[in-house]
Amino acid sequence: MATRKPPRRRAVPEGTAPEPVDDSLAALRDAAAGCKRCPLWKPATQVVFGEGPARARILVVGEQPGDAEDLEGRPFVGPSGRQFDRALEELGIERSRLYVTNAVKHFKFERRGKVRLHKSPNPSEQRACRLWLEGELARVRPRIVVCLGAIAARNVFGTTFRLMRQRGTWQPLPGGRAGFATPHPSAVLRQRDTTSREAAYRGFVGDLALLLEPPEEAL
Ligand code: URA
C-alpha cells in the first residue's frame, strides 16, 4: 500500500477535535486527522488512524504508532509490525482481513540526537484519544478484539486488566463480543538473546492462535 501523505491540518483550537460530518468510518478518520485534544499532535507528523475493512470481524488494537508509522501514516508497518505480520503468516491469517488500529493515534517520542525514542502515552493522553478507538469499535462492530500490549488491553478491558496474568485467555466484551490480549510484539524485539527472543515470539504466536478457535458466542 502507498505511503499516506499527512493530511493538511485544519484550524482546530487546542484541546479540541473536529466533529465527524457523519456516522461513517471515513468521516471519523477525517475528523481524527485534525485532532488537538492532547499535546501529542504537535511534534508528531500525522495522525495514524486504523486501517482495514470497515466491517472486519476482527479488530486489533496496539499502543500507539512508532517512528515508521508516524512517517508512513499507517499502523504496524515498522519492526513491531513485521513481528505481527510474521506471526499472522505462520497462523495462515490474512492481515488484509483485519482492522488494525492503536489506542493512541499520535506518536509520542523523545529526541535523542537524530533518533526519536518511543515514550509511553500517559493516562490523560490515552483518555483524550479514547473517543477515536470507541468510534472505530462502534463503526466497525467487530466480533473479536485483539489487544497488543498492556495499554491496548487496559483501554479495551478496563484498568484492572493484568496482562501477564490474563494474556491469551478469552475475555467477554459487551454485546456478545470477545477479546484477548497478548504482550506487545516489541517485547519480542527487546529480548537480549536469541533463545529469549524465540520464546517470546512463540508465546506471541501461541496467544494469537486463539483466533483460530473463537468462542461460539463471538461468531
Ligand atoms: N506499535 C504499536 O503499538 N502500534 C503501531 O502501529 C506500531 C508500533
Reading the chain (219 residues) residue by residue, the pLDDT tens digits are: 556 666 555 689 999 999 999 999 999 999 999 999 999 999 999 999 999 999 999 999 999 999 999 999 999 999 999 999 999 999 999 999 999 999 999 999 999 999 999 999 999 999 999 999 999 999 999 999 999 999 999 999 999 999 999 999 999 999 999 999 999 999 999 999 999 999 999 999 999 999 999 998 887
List 51's β-bridge partners, or say none: 100
Would you say 145 and 179 are in contact if contact means Cβ atoms under 8 Å apart? yes
Give the distance (Å) from ligand 1 centre to CA of residue 75.
Answer: 6
Give the gyration radius of the chain's Cα atoms.
17
Q: What is the dihedral of CA 2, 8, 9, 11, to 10 degrees?
A: -160
* Atom of ligand 1 lying closest to residue 152 CA: 3
Q: Which stretch of DSSP H or E encloses residue 196?
A: helix 194-208
State how far the alpha carbon of 177 is from the alpha carbons of 62, 117, 143, 170, in Å: 18, 35, 5, 10
Cell digits of residue 1: 500500500
Q: Which CATH class is domain 25-210?
A: alpha beta
* Atom of ligand 1 lying closest to residue 185 CA: 1
State how far the alpha carbon of 199 is from the alpha carbons of 88, 102, 188, in Å: 17, 25, 8
Give the distance (Å) from ligand 1 centre to CA of residue 116.
Answer: 14
* Atom of ligand 1 lying closest to residue 68 CA: 7
Give the predicted TM-score (pTM) of the model: 0.94
Amino acid identity of residue 182, one-letter, is: T
Amino acid identity of residue 18, one-letter, is: P
Q: Where are the domains of the chain?
A: 25-210
pLDDT at 217: 80
pLDDT at 183: 98
Residues with Cβ within 8 Å of 192's Cβ and at least 6 positions away in sequence, in order, are none
For the chain, the distance separating the N- and C-terminal CA atoms, rounded to the nearest angstrom, is 29
pLDDT at 5: 64
